Structure 1
Amino acid sequence: MHRLPSMLFTATLATVAVLGGCATDKMRSKTTLLDETLRSYAATIRWGEVAQALNFVEPKTLAEHPPTQLELDRFRQVRVTGYNEQPVVPVSENEMHQTVQIELVNVNTQSARSVVDRQVWKYDEAGKRWWLTTGLPDISRHD
């Protein structure tokens, strides 16, 4: 008779542990995906692959603020010589901020400068991916 409450308690604890583990695994998976996304985006920017970098930008952001031809041409005039990331700052479970200092050299004049890119990344539950909601870095600024 005393075994039934004990078994129910054990079963309840096991269920809580499994569900808690699922939540932890889900968060870990999201974090791993963010790390992979940030690493891929950084490599894409470092190599100057602007067309590929657009694939990281949230479609809604891209539709509302498509890059102009002038902005795209500016990327062709520079070489990225540094991409210095600050640690990611979690705003919520589905939103992360990251500040990156991008070092640039103008390929025509060889003048060097840097810009600060304040990125906002949001997780899309349906698509199971992170999107950059702030668009491509504004390399026309002089920070």
Structure 2
Amino acid sequence: MRIMGKGVLLLLAALALAACASGGKKMSELQRLQYAYSAAIRWGDFEGAWKLVDPEYREANPMTELEFERYNHVQVSAYRERGAQVLDDGTAVREIEIGVINRHNMTERSARYTEQWRYDPETGQWWISNGLPDLWAGQ
């Protein structure tokens, strides 16, 4: 009986470890994509960042050349995470503060943005589900 009890405990421990490993892989992939996304924004590669936006969102809200051109009028000076959490539905949320410099008059301001990340189990891919940051909100 004692041996069977230890066997069950070992089996449960192995299952728990496997669950942590798969969840850990999923979360490390999220962190990798969040880093890539934030790097694209920091370096002004908004077209590259657009490729990490959920394809369903891109189809429903296509960006025009004029909208992409608008991002060329600003330079990102900072990209700071102010908080992050995973919601009960599996959505990952990050509160971001972005430093924005107007290239024409060299004034700097900050903009707040909430990233929402959705995991697609079919493709095994995380997508940002609410589009690029609106750097002109409230202006």
TM-score above 0.5: yes
> Partner residue of 1:77?
73
Gaps of 5+ in 2: none
> Partner residue of 1:87?
83
After superposition, the C-alpha distances for 1:44-99 in whole angstroms (9 at most, x for unaligned) are 10000011101110100111111233321111111101111112111036211111
SS in 1 for 2:87: strand
SS in 1 for 2:122: coil
Given the superposition, is the C-alpha separation of residues 93 and 24 from structure 1 closer, same or farther in structure 2, using an over 3 Å criterion? Answer: farther
> Partner residue of 1:139?
135
Matched, 1:121 2:120: no
Q: Say which of 97, 103, 113 aligns to 2:93.
A: 97
Q: Is the 8 A contact 1:46 1:82 kept in 2?
A: yes
Percent of counterpart pairs with the same letter? 27
Measured in 2, the distance between the counterparts of 1:86 and 1:29 equals 24
| 45-54 or 94-103, larger mean C-alpha shift | 94-103
SS in 1 for 2:79: strand
Provide the alpha-carbon RMSD of the alignment.
Answer: 1.6
Given the superposition, is the C-alpha separation of residues 93 and 32 from structure 1 closer, same or farther in structure 2, using an over 3 Å criterion? Answer: farther
Q: Say which of 38, 49, 53 aligns to 2:49.
A: 53
Q: Say which of 25, 30, 42 aligns to 1:29.
A: 25
SS in 1 for 2:76: strand
SS in 2 for 1:92: coil
Q: Is the 8 A contact 1:114 1:142 kept in 2?
A: no
TM-score normalised by length of structure 2: 0.91
Gaps of 5+ in 1: none
Following TM superposition, the consecutive aligned residue runs of length 4 or more in structure 1 with deviations greater than 6 angstroms are none
